Amino acid sequence: RLSKRLEMIAEEVPAGSRLADIGSDHALLPAYLAERGTIVNAVAGEVNPGPFEAAAKQVRSSGLEHRIDVRRGDGLEVIAPGEVDVITIAGMGGALIVSILEAGKPKLEGVTRLVLQPNVGESLVRAWLLEHNWALIGERIVEEDDKIYEILTAIAPGQGDMTNARIYEPLALSGKTIADRNVLLKMGPYLVREASSVWVKKWRFELEKLDKICAALGRSELDASRQKEDEFRQEMRTIEEVL
Ligand code: SAM
């Protein structure tokens, strides 16, 4: 059985896809999708020896060698241009996901869909997608084992009629207008609209964390700390306004 998080990611992979799962660890996601016949085939990429071995073992023991190729390498280095149409990158920080996409840009040729699940730094991933004209077509949020995860799905430039310009245009929500794109990049243009209880919980928790940081900064004598406190207080007000 897959975790709720991986199951949600799996749901974002269309039937008939040729998949690359980068940072696949135990290759649970491609194995699940191959067993169900959702994907035609997959590359499971891993840079580290332990997880690479774990992925290879999983694929062997499930008898999926004819569908899943486990390859050792950094990021998108493991795929050839045009080899896959969907890439999943899950369970790492947003900065690392962005660096993998940035370094692997030539390999994105022919890829139609990215399904990304940053553990932190979601805004960095949204900003990268926006900057490179990948249209965010959906966002999901899930809580599992006291952690909250966001799953971002984007389609390649020129695919479909969804445009980032539309997704990030100023948003009127029950009496308030969110005109600052940075707020939507941080809190998620779809997640803001949906305002699910898990998402509200996430941001209430972020507010608590920021409040603790501000309290600590407020006890400092340093001007720089005071300045930082002001910045964080401003950030808190912005979050509170959206909630
Ligand atoms: N994707 C799986 C999931 O969501 O459950 C596994 C997540 S695991 C926490 C992150 C994996 O990414 C690790 O196995 C790590 O070795 C791998 N990884 C980190 N940087 C990578 C890179 N640049 N290229 C490929 N794999 C990487």
Tell me what pLDDT residue 22 has.
98
Q: Tell which of 161, 179, 213 closes a domain.
A: 161
Name the H helices within 114-196.
Answer: 122-131, 164-167, 181-187, 189-194
The rounded Å distance from CA 170 to ligand 1 centre is 35
Q: Is the CB of 23 under 6 A from ligand 1?
A: yes
Clarify whether residues 41 and 135 are in a common domain: yes
Is this complex scored with an ipTM above 0.95? yes
Clarify whether residues 117 and 208 are in a common domain: no
As a whole number, mean pLDDT of residues 172-181 equals: 83
Q: At what angle do helices 49-61 and 28-35 cross, to 10 degrees?
A: 20
Q: Domain residues for 228? A: 197-242
Q: Is the CB of 24 under 6 A from ligand 1?
A: yes
Q: Tell which of 161, 180, 211 closes a domain.
A: 161
Q: pLDDT of 149-160, one tens digit each?
A: 999 999 999 887
Clarify whether residues 69 and 114 are in a common domain: yes
The rounded Å distance from CA 117 to ligand 1 centre is 11
The rounded Å distance from CA 48 to ligand 1 centre is 8
Q: Is the CB of 69 under 6 A from ligand 1?
A: no
Clarify whether residues 209 and 143 are in a common domain: no
